[in-house]
Structure 1
Amino acid sequence: MPQILFSDVDKTLKPKVEFFQEMGLVGPDLCKFISRNSRIFSSSLENKLIPCTQILKKILVNDKNNQDLIRIVRRRSWLITMNPESRLLRNIAFFESCGIVGSQLSILLKMKPTLFVVEESKVRDLVSRVSDLGFSFHSRMFVYGLCIVFSLNKEIFERKLELLRSFGFTNNEAMEIFRKQPMLFSNSEERLKVIPRYRVMQILKSKSLLVLNKEPSFFMMLAVSEKKFLEKFVEKFTDDAEELLVAYRGHMLDSSSSSPSSEEINLDAS
């Protein structure tokens, strides 16, 4: 943007710099933002930057010190350089008509801001697809399902379903897993190979061995290391350890990276 060198400092540059400073972008952070998004200086402060920012701030609930707003603007600066009367407001109105309001709309904006500016027809198709996959508009998982369906093409989505089926889940069970934990599908296929841990959790739950209200989330089961998982959910339950281990290893893919080593498994010692 070499034309910035010919801009009026007091009328064009200074007001916009001060606008972002008031938002919370200061010091080195402001310098990086400007250097990466120099085209913001070609956008009208009164007609685009201010109104678009106000719209985003209205959506973001409990945004202390504009931290969420700043993260979004850093990632997608073009969100505040467009005509707010175009797709932005229309897509917001459509999401709200589907029941995506309040904190749910805020989550959607933070996760997939691009959804707010894609063609309205595409947004309607996405919402229709998510509904067809069995998500209820009243479910808290709907927005997460929307994000995943938007991010993955049908071929990759089907491959991940097939991976679940390869572990012994029926198609209905695989879809139920997706509806309950759609963000699970944001993981790579290699990462999804820890799904057999779910079998272990099913056994623990059926035997009432999990502490009430402390059942681990799917993300916790994905994130914990192999050694920690075995210690916490297999070796800990000495009377059922053998059954749990069989359930775990019986569904694992034949992969040296995912199979626990003999050093990690010491059922006799426990």
Structure 2
Amino acid sequence: MGLVGPDLCKFISSNSRIFSCSLEKKLIPCTQILKKILVNDKNNQDLIRIVRRPSWLITMNPESRFLRNIAFFESCGIVGSQLSYLLKIKPRLFLMEESKLRDLVLRVSDLGFSFHSRMFVYGLCIVFSLNKEIFERKLELLRSFGFTNNEAMEIFRKQPMLFSNSEERLKSALDFFLNKIELKKEMLIKAPFCLTLSLGERVIPRYRVMQILKSKSLLVLNKEPSFFMMLAVSEKKFLEKFVEKFTDDAEELLVAYRGHMLDSSSSSPSSEEINLDAS
């Protein structure tokens, strides 16, 4: 499988019960099932990460509810890379009691996720991870910033992994976009992905750069990129398009963009700690 040296020693010391399991009846069949689900698993890296966890996944009865749950997921349209993602992120879903798993899937469906949506599997992960009280608190946080209940649910359906963020981080992101730069809430409903990004490492530095480009009239008016587009592009693309391209101002732009790295006391400064005035 690729477990060798110290990694093999650590695995054996924490999973000694594998030696009491049948190689032919349990370990090999279970491993083959896992490998079949894990698509594009180079050098068994995903498989190794999974079996390093408590060994119940490779010591279970291969004819148990594990296979039945796989069949149920597939009947819901969760196949291929989505099934692989689910196994890597939430492996315990595969050993849930069938009735509880069906109730969980029904709840996700009732929240408005379609079985045919690629977001369904992410909604399933969040609903499984959060109890109802915490889930409702995060919805209430969105409502406290002026979103209706339907709008808050639309944001959740579009970006369910947003709810994996802490309430403090979600509140800081909402405060920055809606209060600091006064973005219309309709824009956040349209592109809620920006709420998942790090304020200190990505959002605020790129906002600084955009403000400098605007103040120096370096952006062509009829081709001016949206802030969302500037947030979405990769680090390499951002530097190419919005920093290095403007050779006369590249140093100033780079200082504005990398300035947060000078503060070694905080790896993720809050918006209050950062001067947003690009001038």
Q: Distance in 1 between matches of 2:147 and 2:259?
A: 13
Pairwise CA distance, 1:37: 1.0
Cα distance change of structure 1 residues 96 and 266 upon mapping to structure 2, 3 Å threshold: closer
SS at match of 1:251: helix
Pairwise CA distance, 1:169: 1.1
* 1:249–1:259 contact (8 Å) kept in structure 2: no
Pairwise CA distance, 1:167: 1.3
Pairwise CA distance, 1:73: 0.8
Partner of 1:252: 261
Q: Distance in 2 between matches of 1:171 and 1:234?
A: 40
Cα distance change of structure 1 residues 189 and 198 upon mapping to structure 2, 3 Å threshold: farther
Pairwise CA distance, 1:248: 19
* 1:49–1:81 contact (8 Å) kept in structure 2: yes
Q: Distance in 1 between matches of 2:215 and 2:70?
A: 43
Deviates more, 1:252-261 or 1:83-92: 252-261
- Deviation string 1:128-178 (CA, Å, 9 cap, x unpaired) is 000000001111110010011011110110011111111111111111111
SS at match of 2:117: coil
* 1:108–1:143 contact (8 Å) kept in structure 2: yes
Pairwise CA distance, 1:222: 11
* 1:48–1:82 contact (8 Å) kept in structure 2: yes
Q: Distance in 1 between matches of 2:123 and 2:24?
A: 36
Q: Distance in 1 between matches of 2:230 and 2:88?
A: 24
Pairwise CA distance, 1:256: 16
Cα distance change of structure 1 residues 234 and 224 upon mapping to structure 2, 3 Å threshold: same
Specify every segment of 5 or more residues in structure 2 that has no aligned partner in the other structure, as ranges.
170-201
Cα distance change of structure 1 residues 244 and 28 upon mapping to structure 2, 3 Å threshold: closer
- Identity rate of aligned residues, in percent? 95
* 2:203–2:231 contact (8 Å) kept in structure 1: yes
Pairwise CA distance, 1:226: 17
SS at match of 1:195: helix
Deviates more, 1:212-221 or 1:67-76: 212-221
Q: CA RMSD in A?
A: 7.3
* 2:26–2:61 contact (8 Å) kept in structure 1: yes
Structure 1: 4+ residue segments shifted above 3 A: 193-269
* 1:95–1:105 contact (8 Å) kept in structure 2: yes
Cα distance change of structure 1 residues 58 and 227 upon mapping to structure 2, 3 Å threshold: closer
* 2:86–2:121 contact (8 Å) kept in structure 1: yes
SS at match of 2:255: helix
Pairwise CA distance, 1:76: 3.8
Q: Does 1:236 align with 2:245?
A: yes
Deviates more, 1:200-209 or 1:142-151: 200-209
- Deviation string 1:205-238 (CA, Å, 9 cap, x unpaired) is 9999999999999999999999999999999999
For normalisation by structure 1, the TM-score amounts to 0.67
Cα distance change of structure 1 residues 235 and 114 upon mapping to structure 2, 3 Å threshold: same
* 1:167–1:251 contact (8 Å) kept in structure 2: no
- Deviation string 1:225-269 (CA, Å, 9 cap, x unpaired) is 999999999999999999999999999999999999999666665
Pairwise CA distance, 1:188: 1.2
Q: How many residues align?
A: 247
Deviates more, 1:257-266 or 1:145-154: 257-266
Match of 1:190 among 168, 187, 194: 168
